Every structure is written in structure tokens, then in C-alpha cells.
Amino acid sequence: MRVSGSFAVAIIAAALIASAAEPEAPATGKNSASPLVAILQGGVEASQSEAESTSDAIARLEEAARSVLEEIPAQSPVAVRLERALKMDGTDETRLARLQTAARTSIDQLAFEPVHEAEQPEGFPPYTPAGLLEVKEYPAYRMAVANGFWTLFTHIKSNDIGMTAPVEMTFDSPDDKTLKQTSMAFLYGDPDLGSTGRKGNVEVVDVEPATVVSLGMRGRRTSESSRQAQATLQAWLDAHPEYEQAGDFRIMGYNSPYVPADKQFWEAQLIISRRNAE
């Protein structure tokens, strides 16, 4: 699958004009995955105790993994990893090593906190932790939409509009194989800032409140990771017939290219709505 457009170019404004940004500061807001991290960390530590037999260590890790699985959607990357480790056969030593690896990898993913480069728009929900899926609500907001980065950059700079994160990019799939970027938008920090309407090559629009299913992603975005993220969201939607897709696939990018690849963060999202009860 190919993804048209350059994410790096689209988000570069965060590095160019974010005021008083602290590149190494974590994102504002508590990491909602902290309780899951604590459960898995407890299982790993217990499994390393010299007082534990191998079979008891496996049991501790299995209990921790199943406790986490009860709390997260089955389609989440973390859930898929833990479920795979639980189902693997082999000697006790092999099973223990695989469970420990899966738990440690999941801890590292869940505990990740994005680098803070710009404030979110007013009323936006906290970021979705890396490796997890969640349904969350977005308030109404105002955004400037265009087909190119520099058009948007010029618009916010000339109108003295502060940069926010994330940058929103929407896509469609004209042939179910290719993701085609259909728009790019810089979001206003305050929904009452400025006015809507055509501003040269930029369209300023108000966005209605919406429900989304969101997937937190760590690392620099690629065509393959975008494809996998879209497939994960679709798998969740297929497993939840009470919801239907109500908008295009979109990516919310939080970081500029100056943030190291392993600290990059973005969210893949589908706008959804509840189906009408028949």
C-alpha cells in the first residue's frame, strides 16, 4: 500500500513555529495505560524471583497477561502480542522466556509518553497510549484545510495563529489498496478564533463533535505501518457491529521530523457512530 503526501513535511510546522516548546518534555496529560504497565511489571518481577519455580513464574506472567487482556480490546497490538505468547507451546523454559519478552515489550510500548512540541486544541482528549485501541470523544473544533503544507503554514503565520498538535490528515482508499491523502489541516487552539470561510487557498471550517476509535502508534510513520494501523482499526470495527464508520481514515500527527524516530508518535483513527437500533 502506498501513502501519498509527506507526513514529515506536513508536521514540520511544529518545529518551526511552536512557541516555547520543550522538545524533551512528555506530552501533557496522564498516561492512561499506567495501571496496565504496573500489572505487567508486577508479573515480570515475580517471574524473576529466585523463590519461584519455573512453573510458578509462568503462572505469574500468565495471570498478569490475562488481567491486561481483560481490560483492552482484543485487536490492540499489545493484546495480540500477549495472546500469542500465551498460546505458544514449548518447554517451560521456552514459554517463560517468551512470556517475559512479550511482557517487557508491552511495558515499553505502553509506558511510552510522546514528546510535547505544541499544545492540543481546547478540550481535546488525551492521546491514546501506544499499542492500544480506544473509543473516545472529540469536541467541536475549528481547522484550516488545504492541499499543501506551505499554504497552511503561510495562513497561520500571516494570521498570527498559534501552532497546535496534532496535525490532521485524512485519506481515502479508491481501490482498497492505496491510501490517498485527501486533505491536511492545522487545528486552531480555540474554536472561536478567527472566522470560517474561504481564505485564499485555505478553507477554514468548523468540525462537529465526533466519536472515534483510535490507535496509538509509536515510531516514524511508514506506508506499511499506516496500512497495518488501518487494518487494525477495521478489525476492531468488524468486531463491533454496534458501530459503523462515519468518516474517512485519518492520521493525527504529534511530532516534527526533528524528534528521533523511536520517539515519534501518531494516532490512526476512524470516525464512527452507533448504528440505529432496529
CB-hemisphere CA count at 13 Å for 196?
Answer: 8
Is the distance from CB of 274 to CB of 238 less than 8 angstroms?
no
- 258 lies in some domain: yes
Number of domains in the chain: 2
Q: In this predicted structure, what is the pLDDT of residue 207?
A: 97
Residue-wise pLDDT tens for the chain (278 aa)? 444 444 444 444 444 444 334 444 544 456 899 999 999 999 999 999 887 899 999 999 999 999 999 999 999 999 999 999 999 999 999 999 999 999 999 999 999 999 999 999 999 999 999 999 999 999 999 999 998 888 998 999 999 999 999 999 999 876 767 788 889 999 999 999 999 999 999 999 999 999 999 999 999 998 889 989 999 999 999 999 999 999 999 999 999 888 999 999 999 999 999 998 55
Whether residue 86 sits in one domain with residue 160? no
Whether residue 143 sits in one domain with residue 96? no
C-alpha to C-alpha distance for 165 and 185, rounded to whole angstroms: 11
Give the amino acid at 143.
M
C-alpha to C-alpha distance for 103 and 91, rounded to whole angstroms: 18
- 216 lies in some domain: yes
- 29 lies in some domain: no
C-alpha to C-alpha distance for 23 and 48, rounded to whole angstroms: 36
DSSP secondary structure letter of residue 262: G
Q: In this predicted structure, what is the pLDDT of residue 89?
A: 93
Whether residue 150 sits in one domain with residue 81? no
- Give the max Cα distance, the chain: 71
- 77 lies in some domain: yes
Whether residue 176 sits in one domain with residue 92? no
C-alpha cell at 112: 511510552
Whether residue 123 sits in one domain with residue 105? no
Is the distance from CB of 238 to CB of 244 less than 8 angstroms?
no
C-alpha cell at 76: 490492540
C-alpha cell at 74: 482484543
Whether residue 75 sits in one domain with residue 187? no
Domain hosting 204: range is 7-17+116-274
Q: In this predicted structure, what is the pLDDT of residue 202?
A: 96
Domain end among 75, 110, 145: 110
Is the distance from CB of 190 to CB of 122 less than 8 angstroms?
yes
- 3-class DSSP state of 195: coil
Domain end among 86, 110, 134: 110
Whether residue 138 sits in one domain with residue 90? no
Whether residue 150 sits in one domain with residue 85? no
Whether residue 80 sits in one domain with residue 197? no
